[in-house]
Amino acid sequence: MTLAIGTDRAETRHELAGTAYDLLVIGGGILGTSVTWMAAQAGLRVAMVDAGDFAGATSSASSKLVHGGLRYLQTGNVRLVAENHRERRALAADIAPHLVKPLTFVVPIYRGGPHGAAKLGAGVFLYSALSVFGDGMGRVITPQQAMAKVPALRSEGLRAAAVYGDHQMNDSRVAVMTVRAAVDAGAVVLNHAEVVGLRQTGGTVTGADLRDRLDETEFGVSARLVLNATGPWVDHLRRMEDPSAAPSIRLSKGAHLVLRRQEPWKAALTTPIDKYRVSFAIPWEDHLLLGTTDEAYEGDPAAVRATEADIAQILDEAGHSVRDSQLRREDITYAFAGLRVLPGGPGQVAAAKRETVVTSGSGGMLSVAGGKWTTYRHIGRHVLDTLAHLPGRPLGDDLADILPAVPLPGLASPDAVAMRLWTDRDPGTRMDPLVARHLATHYGSIAFDLARLIREDPALGERIHPDGPDIWAQAVYARDREWAATVDDVVRRRTTLTVRGLDTPDVRAGIGKLLG
C-alpha cells in the first residue's frame, strides 16, 4: 500500500508502524530526500522521517545556486567542476527546468584585488569549457559592459570584469518537489517526527522509535537497514547507537542576507574576497541575496542564527563591489544561517573538502554526511549503490535499475505555464501576470492545480500580503498536498513570504487559522 499525497498524519503513522521496510531514512534534507527518491525508484520499500520540516534546516539555507563551483578551479579540482556541470545541465534541461533557471555571473576585477584579468579570464573560459559552453563562453568584459549588467556595481578602481553562466533555484521548492517525487515512486514520508530511540535486534539496528512533535503520539518503524542522514545532528544519532562513538564531522556556519532591490539586476556578482573566498550578490525572488560566511561552529545546530557580526561581515564584503545605496540595513528583509557538514579533521573549515562520507556504526546503522544541491541526485545514487553492496546484502540482491533522468513533478516550460495561467481565465478575472509568473516558476505545471482551487473559490486567488506574489491557494495547497503542518512550514518553505519580510503577525495568524 502506498499512501497518497495529502494523507493525514494519523494514517501515515499507522502505515509506518505496520509495515516492515527495506530502508528507513532518518533526515529529510538534501541527502535524505535524494536517497529516499532513488531507493523508491529502485523498488525498495522506503520510509523517511524528519524531526522538523523537510529541508527545514541547512538544506533550505543555501546560496540557492545550482553551479559548477568556479572556486574549485582555484584548488585544481577540475574533475569535481566537470561532474557538477553535468548534474547542473541535467537539472536545468531534463529534471527541473521549471525550478532551475540560468543566471549570468559577473566577477569584478579591481585594482589591487586578489586576481588579475588574465587569470580570471582563463578561469572563466575553462569553467565554461567544462560545461561544454552550454551557457556561452566565459570571457573578460569592460567596466562599462559590467555596469550595464549590474547598475549597482561599484566603479571606483574597476579595471575589467569576467563573466560566466550558472543557474539558481529556490532550494525549499526543489526539496518539496523531491519529496513529492519520492512519494510518487512509492516512499512513505512524515515530517515533525522525532527519533527518541533506535530499535535493536541482536545488537543490530532494526528501526526507530519516534514521537510526533505535533500531538506527542509515539510510534515505531521497523526496517532491515537504517540510514542516518540527519546532517548537523549525525553524531547525535550515532551516539544513540553507540554512546562511545567518536565525533565524525565538524560544522561550518554559512550566513546570508536578503535585501530589497533598488533596481533590476541583469546578472549576479561573484566578488573575490581573498585567494579562495568569494562573496555573492544574487538577484533572487525580486530581492538581492548576499553571502556567505564560512566559520567553524560548535554550538547547538538548532540554535544557529545569523548574528550581528555575520550581518556586518556580509555587508562589508558585499561593499567591495556593490554601492552603499544598495546595502542599507533598513532594506534587509531576512537573515538566515545554515551549517555545512564537513569531514572531521584539522585545518580551517574554509579549506576543508566538500565531500560525502558514508560510515557504518557498531549496530550496522549507516551514517551519511555532506551533501549539496547541485549534485544531490548523483549523491543519492552513490549512497544507494553503497547500501546495495554492503556485506551480507541487508537490502537483498535485487534492486531495479534507476532511470537516468526522472523529472521532478511539474516539469514544464515556466513561460508556457505563465502564459496559460494568464490567458485561460475570463478577461474580467484574469490572473495578475506577476502572480502567474510566480506560480509558474515555483510549481511548473502543478500551478494548474492551484488555478483549479481558485476557480472553485476565487478568494484563494487573493494575495496573502499585498506586497508579494504569494496567494492563499498556495497555503491551502501546502497544507493539503505538501505536508505543511506549521506556520513556518508555509511562510518559510512553501511560499516566499518570510524571505520578502512579509510574514507579519496578521499574515502568520491567518495562516495559523487556515492550518487549524
Instruction: Please name the residues in contact with 165: beta carbons below 8 A apart, sequence gap of 6 or more.
Output: 102, 103, 104, 105, 128, 131, 134, 135, 136, 138
CA dist 21 and 19 (Å) reads 6
Distance from first CA to last CA of the chain, Å, rounded? Answer: 28
- pLDDT score at 345: 56
* pLDDT of the residue at 370: 86
User: Is residue 222 within 8 Å of 18, Cβ to Cβ?
Assistant: no
Q: Does a cis peptide bond (omega within 30 degrees of 0) precede residue 292? A: yes
> If you search the block for the grid coordinates 502505515, which residue do you land on?
15
Q: Which of 61, 114, 127 is nearest to 88 (CA)?
A: 127
Using CB atoms within 10 Å of the CB of residue 201, give its burial: 0 to 12 exposed, 13 to 18 middle, 19+ buried: exposed
9-58+173-247+348-398 CATH fold: FAD/NAD(P)-binding domain (3.50.50)
DSSP 8-state class, residue 494:
I
pLDDT for residue 396: 80
State the pLDDT at residue 428. Answer: 65
C-alpha 438/C-alpha 427 separation (Å) is 20
pLDDT on residue 51: 98
Q: Give a three-class secondary structure readout of 299-344.
A: CCHHHCCCCHHHHHHHHHHHCCCECHHHCCHHHEEEEEEEEEEEEC
Q: pLDDT at position 116, please?
A: 84
Where does 332-379 show beta strands of DSSP type E?
Answer: 332-343, 357-360, 366-369
Beta bridge partners of 337: 255
Rounded distance between C-alpha atoms, residue 276 and residue 124, angstroms = 15
pLDDT of 122: 87
| pLDDT value at residue 354 | 56
> Phi-psi category of 392—alpha, beta or left, where left has phi over 0 and alpha has psi -120 to 50?
left
Beta-strand relationship, 268-272 and 65-66: unpaired
Domain boundaries, the chain: 9-58+173-247+348-398, 100-168+250-343, 414-515
The predicted structure's pLDDT at residue 70: 77
Measured CA to CA, the distance from residue 287 to residue 390 in angstroms comes to 46
Per-residue pLDDT of the chain (516 residues; tens, 9 = 90+): 445 555 689 999 999 999 999 999 999 999 999 999 999 999 999 999 999 999 999 899 999 999 877 777 777 777 888 888 888 999 999 999 999 999 999 999 999 888 888 888 888 888 888 877 777 788 999 999 999 999 999 999 999 999 999 999 999 999 999 999 999 999 999 999 999 999 999 999 999 999 999 999 999 999 999 999 999 999 999 999 999 999 999 999 999 999 999 899 999 999 999 887 899 999 999 999 999 999 999 999 999 999 999 999 999 999 999 999 999 999 999 999 999 998 875 455 554 455 688 889 999 999 999 888 999 999 999 999 999 988 888 888 779 999 989 999 999 999 999 999 998 876 666 899 999 999 999 999 999 999 999 999 999 999 999 999 999 999 999 999 999 999 999 999 999 999 999 999 999 999 999 998
Q: What is the dotted CATH code of the domain comprising 100-168+250-343?
A: 3.30.9.10
Which pLDDT belongs to residue 5?
56
Cell of 249: 564531522
DSSP letter at 462? S
pLDDT for residue 6: 54
C-alpha cell at 71: 572556486
